[in-house]
Amino acid sequence: MLAVIKKELRSYFTSMTGYIFVASFLFFTGLFFTLNNLLGASPDFNRVLASILFIFLLAVPILTMRLMAEETKQKTDQLLLTSPITLTSIIVGKYLAAVIVFVGTLAFTIIYPLIMSTMGKLAWSEILGGYIGFFLFGSALIAVGLFISTITENQVVAAVATFTTLLILWLIDAIIQGLPTDKTAGIIFAVLLAAGIAAIIYFATRNIYVAGGILGAGIIAIVAGYIVNPEIYTGFIGKVLEWFSLYSRYEDFELGVLSLSPIVYYITFSSAFVFLSIRMLEKKRWS
């Protein structure tokens, strides 16, 4: 795994991507720091972190587009996959390399609160909270980018798809607002969801019985849920899409509060996408 991390780190900085990431990241943090804290004379650095979350929309695709897509395209994945290392260490190694570049860059920005601390007393514990949240949030998005990079062998496609996905995640709270909340819509959505999951299972396993079984079980569960308590379908769409609302979970961190549930949420979210990336690689071998 160390070898993979080392190799990825090197390739970030032998190609342009590493520098572009670091430069754009530092540029935007610096810009917002200057506007907000220096010119705006605000002692609140967490505001800066929160207001530059949008930068991930561009920065994460830069960091992740190449990760697996380029290996597949150049057929170097043949070397990795026929070497005596596990798929897990390949994917986790790549993920960690991207996270390390991100954290390394983030570490540079400590300089801004340090500058501020020369002008007055800072609430360091709050700033630490802000940083932890920012780190967890970025790491979760990197996992999404990594996953998308395992699907395609085209870097540009990976970048655009990642950008689009992150944009949807960014807008998801607004999208939820606009969706119907009545019971019928909730039930239709639940059925579509079950059908969607069954379809994914079918394409992954090519086993019609397993997929059919899951669809059947899903529908039974939906009916059972309706009989027990039809109210669960009120606002059901929103409740499900909520799971993907990464941005809304950032609020505590912005206030500098470390609460367990968003931390667990981000870590779970990251792990899920890293796990899916591993499965995706595994699945490719069986196709």
Partner 1 sequence: MIQVENLTKRYGQHVAVDNISFTVKPGEILGFLGPNGAGKTTTMNILTGYISATEGRALVNGVDILEEPEEVKKMIGYLPEFPPLYGEMTVMEYLDFVSDIKQVSGQQKKQSMEKIMDLVKIGDVRGRLIKNLSKGYKQRVGLAQAMIGNPQVLILDEPTVGLDPKQIIEIRNLISSLGKEHTIILSSHILPEVSTVCERVIIINKGRIVASDTLENLSKGLGEETKLIIRVAGPEKHVIKVISEVHGVKFVESQGSKEKDTVDIVVESSPDIDIRKPLFYALSRASYPILMMRTMGLTLEDIFLQVITEEKEAR
Tell whether residue 194 is a contact of partner 1 (CB under 8 A): no
Least Cα distance to 190 among 239, 150, 147, 228 occurs for 239
| Residue 76 beta carbon to partner 1: minimum distance, rounded to whole angstroms | 4
Tell whether residue 81 is a contact of partner 1 (CB under 8 A): yes
- Distances 279 to 72, 196, 272 between C-alpha atoms, Å: 15, 18, 10
| Residue 79 beta carbon to partner 1: minimum distance, rounded to whole angstroms | 4
Q: Residue 40 gets which letter from DSSP?
A: S
| Residue 66 beta carbon to partner 1: minimum distance, rounded to whole angstroms | 11
Tell whether residue 88 is a contact of partner 1 (CB under 8 A): no
- Binding partner 1 (rule: CB under 8 A), the pick from 18, 21, 37, 77 is 77
The CA distance from 167 to 279, in Å, is 25
Least Cα distance to 250 among 173, 193, 197, 159 occurs for 173
Tell whether residue 74 is a contact of partner 1 (CB under 8 A): yes
Tell whether residue 234 is a contact of partner 1 (CB under 8 A): no
CA 147 to chain centre: 9
Q: Which stretch binds partner 1 (CB under 8 A): 79-87, 95-103, 176-184, 248-256?
A: 79-87
Planar angle of CA 258, 261, 264, nearest 5 degrees: 100
| Residue 275 beta carbon to partner 1: minimum distance, rounded to whole angstroms | 19
| Residue 18 beta carbon to partner 1: minimum distance, rounded to whole angstroms | 12
Is the CB of 29 or the CB of 64 nearer to partner 1?
A: 64
- Say if CB 212 and CB 198 are below 8 A apart: yes
CB atoms within 10 A of CB 196: 12
- Binding partner 1 (rule: CB under 8 A), the pick from 15, 234, 248, 271 is 15
**Which residue has tokens 């009916």?**
223
| Residue 177 beta carbon to partner 1: minimum distance, rounded to whole angstroms | 43
- Binding partner 1 (rule: CB under 8 A), the pick from 31, 38, 79, 167 is 79
| Residue 43 beta carbon to partner 1: minimum distance, rounded to whole angstroms | 44
- Distances 16 to 30, 77, 138 between C-alpha atoms, Å: 21, 21, 20
| Residue 10 beta carbon to partner 1: minimum distance, rounded to whole angstroms | 8
Tell whether residue 132 is a contact of partner 1 (CB under 8 A): no
Tell whether residue 86 is a contact of partner 1 (CB under 8 A): yes
Is the CB of 85 or the CB of 193 nearer to partner 1?
A: 85
Tell whether residue 174 is a contact of partner 1 (CB under 8 A): no
- Binding partner 1 (rule: CB under 8 A), the pick from 16, 31, 35, 78 is 78
- Say if CB 283 and CB 201 are below 8 A apart: no
Q: Where are the alpha helices (DSSP H) in the chain?
A: 2-14, 17-33, 45-51, 55-64, 66-74, 77-81, 87-108, 111-117, 124-151, 155-178, 183-205, 208-228, 236-242, 251-254, 260-286
Is the CB of 81 or the CB of 232 nearer to partner 1?
A: 81
- The residue ranges that bind partner 1 (CB under 8 A) are 2-4, 6-7, 10-11, 14-15, 74-86, 285-287
